[in-house]
Amino acid sequence: MQPGNIVRFRDRDWVLLPGDDADIYRLRPLTGITDEVVAVHKSLMALIRYALPEENIRPSQFPVPSPDDLSDAASAHLLWQAARLTLREGAAPLRSLSRISIRPRVYQFVPLLMALRLGPVRLFIADDVGVGKTIEALLVARELIDRGEVRRLAVLCPPYLCDQWEVDS
């Protein structure tokens, strides 16, 4: 199971989060708040696999919609809003969107998409002044951290920009 997968645990759907410890699953409820994270030790799961089947972490799936599932416009709008908010909370292909407080412009996703195709990621962002190079670089960094692909990164920038890249340890 990879970070970002939706799993079933204790009769509830969860999003599998990236973590620093390979022996622990970090889970966030699909229908909960983002701070409601649960940690489950993998070796404990192996011990109770057969004794308590409801305690097993397994992939989750949703039923395929049918033509009988049609409803009115208000319900469709409510479903659209719920899906939009759910995707914003971390179950989308781009996991970084759930942890940023800005609305990037469409062109600012280009370096992120380019970085996701690279392995290892080495990217030089050199756009015009005021286009949003910092936002583009932060999108790449946040996405790689959220996917668990990196734990640290190096940013090379002019001296007058060092203050904005400083991180408190």
What whole-number distance in Å separates Cα of residue 107 and Cα of residue 74? 33
Q: What is the pLDDT of residues 106-149, one digit of tens each?
A: 888 888 888 888 888 888 888 788 888 888 888 898 888 888 88
Q: Please tell me the predicted confidence (pLDDT) of residue 91.
A: 45
CA distance 145 to 95: 10
Q: Which of 42, 52, 58, 49 is nearest to 7 (CA)?
A: 58
Coarse DSSP helix, strand, coil percentages of the chain, rounded to the nearest 5 percent:
40, 15, 45
User: From CA 92, how far away is CA 125, in angstroms rounded?
Assistant: 25
Our CA angle for 155, 158, 161, nearest 5°, is 80
Q: Residue 87's pLDDT is what?
A: 52
- Per-residue DSSP letter, 129: T
State pLDDT tens for residues 65-93.
777 777 777 777 777 776 665 555 544 56
Residue boundaries of the structural domains of the chain: 6-59, 98-165
